[in-house]
Chain A
Amino acid sequence: MTAIKHVLAAFLLVFILVLLGYYIRPENPVVIIICFVIIGFFVFNLTIRKSLAYRRYFESKYNLFTSKVRSEKVFDIPEHLMFEKIIEVIDNSEFKLIEADRGAYEILAITRMTLMSWGENLYIDFETKGGKTIMKCCSVTFFQIYSWGKNERNWDVLLNKIESSLTI
C-alpha cells in the first residue's frame, strides 16, 4: 500500500506540473476546475475531520490522502480511569479534545494546523486484556500523504505527558 501511495504521489505531482505547463491559459478552465476539485476535497475533509463518526474513513488503508501511524501502550490502570486520565492529559496539552465517547471509550483529539502540516487527528481507544488496559492510538495526518515524522512525535508527546501525569 505504501508503494502505491508513493507512485500516486509522484504521478499526481507530475500530472499537476504538466497541466500547469500546458494548460495554464486565462481562457482554459481545466486548471481552474482541478483547483476547485482539490479545494472541494480539502474542505470536505476539513468539515468531517471533527467527528468520530468518520474515523473509519480517515483510518482506512484505502484512503491514500492520509498518513496513518498506529501505536499501542499497556497500562496497569482500569479502562474507565485510563479513559478519564487521557481526557485530562489532552486537556492539559497542545492537543484539542474534540469528542469523547464514554460508552465506547473512544477519543478524538486534533492538533492545530501549522506550517509543517494541516493538522493531525488522534484516535484513541482502549481494550482490557488480562487485567491490563491496552491504549490503542492511531495518528492520522489530515490531507497529507506523508507525515514527515509528525505522527510519531505526537505519540511520543502524548506518552510522555501520560507518564509524567502519573506522578500525583
Chain B
Amino acid sequence: MAIIVNLDVVLAKRKMKLKELSEKVGVSTVNLSILKQGKGKAIRFSTLDSICSALDCQPGDILEYVE
C-alpha cells in the first residue's frame, strides 16, 4: 500500500519543466524533485492547491493510492 506521486506524468502531459512549475508555485526545484520522487514526508494543502492551479489538474491526478 502506498501513495504514488504522478507529478512527472502530469508535467509531461502539460509539457512543463520542473523549473517552470517551481517558478509558478513558489516551491524550490529541490522540494518538487523530492515530492516527485515520493520522498517527501508530507504535502501541505497550500502546496497542493498551487500545483493543481499551475497544472490545471485535480489532486487525484497527482496523488494515487495503490495496494
Residues of chain A touching chain B, judged by Cβ–Cβ distance below 8 Å, are: 76-78, 81, 84-85, 88, 163, 165-168
Q: Are B27 and A168 in contact (CB under 8 A)?
A: yes
* Given A81-B33, A85-B30, residue A76 in contact with residue B39 (CB < 8 A): yes
Q: Are B43 and A78 in contact (CB under 8 A)?
A: no
Q: Are B33 and A168 in contact (CB under 8 A)?
A: no
A142 to B39 CA separation, bound complex (whole angstroms)? 35
Q: Are A77 and B43 in contact (CB under 8 A)?
A: no
Q: Are A81 and B42 in contact (CB under 8 A)?
A: no
Q: Are A167 and B40 in contact (CB under 8 A)?
A: yes
Q: Are A163 and B41 in contact (CB under 8 A)?
A: yes
Residues of chain B touching chain A, judged by Cβ–Cβ distance below 8 Å, are: 27-28, 30-35, 37, 39-44, 47
By beta carbon, the residue of chain A nearest B29 is A84
A165 to B47 CA separation, bound complex (whole angstroms)? 13
* Given A168-B27, A168-B47, residue A85 in contact with residue B41 (CB < 8 A): no
* Given A76-B39, A77-B39, A88-B28, residue A167 in contact with residue B34 (CB < 8 A): no
A78 to B35 CA separation, bound complex (whole angstroms)? 12
A71 to B4 CA separation, bound complex (whole angstroms)? 32
A131 to B58 CA separation, bound complex (whole angstroms)? 32
A166 to B42 CA separation, bound complex (whole angstroms)? 7
Q: Which residues of B contact A168 (CB under 8 A)?
A: 27, 31-32, 34-35, 40, 42-44, 47
By beta carbon, the residue of chain A nearest B38 is A76
